[in-house]
């Protein structure tokens, strides 16, 4: 069952609306496989490409998606277990400054993404029905466990689309590499 609009903030609608599936666990599994397969087809030289000087590299985008999923899954775990302790927000740019994705290979980042996604899928697959509607406060906003699952999927979809539209199909040295 999809999250109702009162289970998350209007800001999150941007991501949640991207997810068309009703079975989020199956969708997360399939989506993770699709993203990993897409990235595994990249020419190695493309991993450090950024489409503008102030934009992230492909490795940084994937690292950001993985970091974001970890944070959101942690929130889901806390709230699913009934922990009502308010959680702080996280600043993606601070995470990026401390991440050090540049020296890593794209293959290692894909492997890490796959491991995190597998863990996320197992977490959500293990939840009893009543856990999905539990809520907590993160970044001063109430959100349900169900909404966090859809948010993880939508956030990843948002960045996959950005990769496809801005890195793979634009007028870049790698235009057409993913066709």
Would you list the domain boundaries of the chain? Answer: 5-168
Give me the mean pLDDT over the 49-76 stretch: 96
The Cα–Cα gap between 13 and 44 comes to 34
3-state secondary structure of 135: strand
Whether 170 shows a pLDDT value over 90: the answer reads no
pLDDT for the residue 27: 98
Whether 167 shows a pLDDT value over 60: the answer reads yes
Give me the mean pLDDT over the 76-89 stretch: 97
pLDDT for the residue 168: 87
Per CATH, the number for 5-168 is 1.20.120.450
Whether 178 shows a pLDDT value over 80: the answer reads no
For 84-130, the pLDDT digits (tens) are 999 999 999 999 999 999 999 999 999 999 999 999 999 999 999 99
Prediction pTM value:
0.93
pLDDT for the residue 26: 98
């Amino acid at each position: 069952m999809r999250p109702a609009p009162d289970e998350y903030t209007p800001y999150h609608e941007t991501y949640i609306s991207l997810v068309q599936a009703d079975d989020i666990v199956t969708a997360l599994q399939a989506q993770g496989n699709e993203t990993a397969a897409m990235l595994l087809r990249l020419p190695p030289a493309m991993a450090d490409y950024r489409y503008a000087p102030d934009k992230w590299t492909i490795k940084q985008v994937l690292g950001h998606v993985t970091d974001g999923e970890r944070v959101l899954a942690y929130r889901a775990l806390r709230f699913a277990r009934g922990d009502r302790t308010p959680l702080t927000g996280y600043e993606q740019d601070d995470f990026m400054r401390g991440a050090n994705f540049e020296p890593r290979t794209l293959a290692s980042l894909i492997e890490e993404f796959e491991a995190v996604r597998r863990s996320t899928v197992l977490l959500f697959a293990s939840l009893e029905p009543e856990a999905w509607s539990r809520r907590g406060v993160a970044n001063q906003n109430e959100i349900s466990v169900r909404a966090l699952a859809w948010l993880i999927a939508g956030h990843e979809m948002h960045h996959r689309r950005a990769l496809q539209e801005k890195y793979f199909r634009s007028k870049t040295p790698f235009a057409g590499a993913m066709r």
